[in-house]
């Protein structure tokens, strides 16, 4: 906590040097968000005024990522934290994080401010915008409540609540995207007049994509959590790890030189692989 306070005070001091006059004042905790919003709007308006008053003069601002002097009209101000970067660097940052299955945050070291999709709309392609919308939905639904459409050409994500709303009297749920019917109990295509167990017996072989994934998992010694159904890869460290739902996963002993335990029993590094 003291380190965060010191860093914050340091940032405030640096900001004060950029103003000809600055008078700090205390703000009640309930008014902090309003104060940040007001400060953000004030800074943006000042930058806009400078750009307009220059009348053709090139007003430049340095981007701390690419270290290039960029036209102020091409600079992006992150909501809440007010860190500024050029749109080109921010677009690349957002794209990388989305492709890694993560929600993009401010690239400033130690900053945890999440980027808002509406503020990023101006520099995102339609594909990246749709992907960011998908990531936001993925993170908003708890792992135990996620349901994916079982039809390979769709694989749309929905929550159990959404699926239940679209469930008919016969018990079949309907995907909102492809309108295909599926069984909520076994997450398979709808099978009327037959139990889930009988359906699995009649359809013992998974689709080609699932078979490839299972084969890849066996070769790489991945483990699938029986609770959240995510694939987990052990990179190094102890061979007993927990998935995001605190379910214990046991891995076989890895070949040398990977140690069985890391010094001081540090948490193992692992990758969670999402799949639909």
- Which DSSP string corresponds to 109-166? TT--PBPPHHHHTTTS-HHHHHHHHHHHHHHHS-GGGEEE-SSTTT--EEEHHHHHHT
- Hey, what are 182's tokens? 């599926």
Range of the domain at 169: 152-202
For the chain, the C-alpha Rg in angstroms (whole number) is 25
Question: pLDDT-derived band of residue 180, with 50, 70 and 90 as boundaries?
Answer: very high
Domain count, the chain: 2
- Hey, what are 100's tokens? 């890694």
Give whole-number Cα distances, 116 to 36, 77, 79, 104, 129, in Å: 15, 11, 8, 9, 11
Active site residue 111: no
- Determine the pLDDT at residue 7: 65
pTM of the shown model = 0.54
Burial zone of 156 (CB within 10 Å; 0-12 exposed, 13-18 middle, 19+ buried): middle
User: Do both 175 and 197 map to the same domain?
Assistant: yes
Residue 247: inside a domain: yes
Of 144, 168, 202, the position where a domain reaches its end is 202
User: Do both 183 and 165 map to the same domain?
Assistant: yes
Q: What is the pLDDT of residues 182-213, one digit of tens each?
A: 998 888 899 988 898 888 888 877 677 777 87
Q: Residue 76: enclosing H or E segment and its boundaries? A: strand 75-77
CA dihedral sign of residues 87, 90, 92, 97: negative
- Determine the pLDDT at residue 217: 80
Exactly one of 86, 178, 238, 243 is catalytic; name it. Answer: 238
Q: Average pLDDT of 99-119? A: 87
Residue 241: inside a domain: yes
Residue 36 has pLDDT above 80, yes or no: no
């Amino acid at each position: 906590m003291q380190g965060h306070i010191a860093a914050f005070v340091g940032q405030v001091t640096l900001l004060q040097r950029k103003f000809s006059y600055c008078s700090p004042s205390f703000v009640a905790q309930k008014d902090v968000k309003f104060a940040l919003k007001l400060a953000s709007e004030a800074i943006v308006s000042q930058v806009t005024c400078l750009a307009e008053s220059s009348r053709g003069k090139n007003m430049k601002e340095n981007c701390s990522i690419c270290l290039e002097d960029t036209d102020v009209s091409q600079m992006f101000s992150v909501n809440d934290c007010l860190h500024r970067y050029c749109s080109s660097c921010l677009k690349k940052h957002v794209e990388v994080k989305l492709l890694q299955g993560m929600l993009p945050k401010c690239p400033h070291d130690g900053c945890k401010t999440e980027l808002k999709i509406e503020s990023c709309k101006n520099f995102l392609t339609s594909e990246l915008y749709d992907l960011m919308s998908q990531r936001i939905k993925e993170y908003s639904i708890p792992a135990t409540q996620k349901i994916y459409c079982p039809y390979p050409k769709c694989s749309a994500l929905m929550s159990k609540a959404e699926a239940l709303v679209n469930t008919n009297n016969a018990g079949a749920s309907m995907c909102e995207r492809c309108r295909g019917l599926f069984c909520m109990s076994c997450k398979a295509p709808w099978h009327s007049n037959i139990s889930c167990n009988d359906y699995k017996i009649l359809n013992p072989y998974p689709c080609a994509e699932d078979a490839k994934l299972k084969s890849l998992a066996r070769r790489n010694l991945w483990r699938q959590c029986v609770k959240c159904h995510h694939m987990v890869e052990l990179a190094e460290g102890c061979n007993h790890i927990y998935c995001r739902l605190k379910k214990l996963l046991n891995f076989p002993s890895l070949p040398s030189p990977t140690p069985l335990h890391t010094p001081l029993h540090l948490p193992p590094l692992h990758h969670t692989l999402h799949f639909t």
